[in-house]
Structure 1
Amino acid sequence: MTKKSRTRQLSSEEKRLWSHVARHVKPMKGKPLPPEPEPEDKPATAPAPKIAALAPVLPPLPPQTKPAVPPLAPVERKTLQALRRGRKDVDSVIDLHGMRQEEAHFALLHFLHRAQSSGHGLVLIITGKGGAAAGSGMFEERGVLRRMVPHWLRLPDLRSLVIGFEEASPQHGGSGALYVRLRRRRGAG
């Protein structure tokens, strides 16, 4: 059983439109531009549409977008083991606990930028565990930095600095601290 191929012939308007589109792109090597179709005689009752009138109908090119934000990657298992066993040290440390949220965020941003520009690859951020303090009010929220610092590290504006992060080992603060891997500065090394 053979299949009949159904190929429809292009109308003169479609040929004219294709020719218009094809003339605005660079042809492939060795391929000539399609010839300009000759206009057909139309009855006087229907005016021939002009190609220029069709140009605005074509959809605009999509705007160029920034590349997607790279996903966070966990700290390598070997690096974590070396940190836990004391065979590797962090390059720099910042202690945020006791700070208010706004000042901690500001300090964190400056710390990460300085650490990256100094060529540091692994830093320790101490947030504190957020335990109940004596004299804390009933409505006072505890452990805000412990919860907010990971959120800040996931934000798109810090992806140019942060590769990934993990909870620190007990000797470095455990759940009240984070190991953070930093990206190398562009143009460095």
Structure 2
Amino acid sequence: MTRRKLTADEVELWRKVAQKAERLHPEIPQAVHPTPLPKPKPKKNPKPRIDAFELGQTHRVKPSGNTLKPSVTEALRSAPVQMDVKAFNRMKRGKLKPEGKLDLHGMRVDTAHPALIRFILNAQAQGKRLVLVVTGKGKDRDEPGPIPTPRGVLRNQVPKWLSLHPLAQAVMQVSPAHISHGGDGAYYVYLRRTR
């Protein structure tokens, strides 16, 4: 919005009012005709400098929510392959037939652990290479709570037991079984050769 200029009558009226008014600071000399300030000129904005742009440079990475420990099955699937890759791929597809089977269904932890140790060490002593350990998928918990509880005690304990002494020296690879051999409720255990 621009200011309008004063008319001659308005300027004369202002001078009469200014002559009758008392000065606030009489020691400061007064100019006869105060010069109006010049009208401000609009400033031209310089063109903004465009820096190099990379796709996604302003994207903010959202912090991940609750990162829970991966399930035992996911951890075993992402574990590095220790055995022959061809044999491992055949085993994953269910093409290799297990030479022995241990069913831990219905067992408690205190009876399942010694049974597993006995079975694995006997299988290795007999020269077997691939055995199947059936744990079952486990039951769902009745009370959901704030702390996630893994489903199936034996299903989560058996891979840990296989990585501890005395079974660690006998076991080369542990992998979830193919659906034809029990799926997520069973594990393939590939044993080392005895020397």
Distance 1:141 1:167, change over 3 A: closer
**What letter is aligned with 1:165?**
V
1:167-178 → structure 2 map (5 Å cutoff): 167-178=176-187
Distance 1:74 1:175, change over 3 A: farther
Match of 1:147 in 2: 156
* Pair 1:131-2:139 in alignment: yes
* Structure 2 residue runs without a partner (length 5+): 1-79
1:37-79 CA distances to partner (integer Å, 9 max, x unpaired)?
xxxxxxxxxxxxxxxxxxxxxxxxxxxxxxxxxxx85454422
Which TM-score applies when normalising by structure 2? 0.50
1:118: Cα distance to partner?
Answer: 0.8
Distance 1:141 1:98, change over 3 A: farther
Distance 1:168 1:77, change over 3 A: farther
* Structure with greater Cα Rg: 2
Distance 1:99 1:83, change over 3 A: same
* Partner Cα separation in structure 1 for residue 125 and residue 102 of structure 2: 16
* Partner Cα separation in structure 1 for residue 193 and residue 139 of structure 2: 35
Q: Percent identity?
A: 43
* Partner Cα separation in structure 2 for residue 141 and residue 81 of structure 1: 28
Do the aligned partners of 2:150 and 2:156 also contact (CA within 8 Å) in 1? no
The list of structure 1 runs, each at least 4 consecutive aligned residues, that deviate by more than 6 angstroms after superposition, is none
**What letter is aligned with 1:161?**
A
**What letter is aligned with 1:130?**
G
Match of 1:38 in 2: none
Which TM-score applies when normalising by structure 1? 0.52
SS in 2 for 1:156: coil
* Partner Cα separation in structure 1 for residue 184 and residue 83 of structure 2: 15
* Partner Cα separation in structure 1 for residue 131 and residue 158 of structure 2: 14
Match of 1:120 in 2: 128
**What letter is aligned with 1:168?**
A
* Partner Cα separation in structure 2 for residue 80 and residue 128 of structure 1: 22
Match of 1:92 in 2: 100
Please, which of 167, 179, 190 is the counterpart of residue 181 of structure 1?
A: 190
Q: How many residues were matched structurally?
A: 113
SS in 1 for 2:121: helix
* Structure 1 residue runs without a partner (length 5+): 1-71
SS in 2 for 1:158: coil
* Partner Cα separation in structure 1 for residue 109 and residue 98 of structure 2: 24
SS in 2 for 1:164: strand
Match of 2:167 in 1: 158
1:2-35 CA distances to partner (integer Å, 9 max, x unpaired)?
xxxxxxxxxxxxxxxxxxxxxxxxxxxxxxxxxx
Do the aligned partners of 1:73 and 1:163 also contact (CA within 8 Å) in 2? no
Match of 1:22 in 2: none
* Partner Cα separation in structure 2 for residue 176 and residue 75 of structure 1: 22
Distance 1:85 1:109, change over 3 A: same
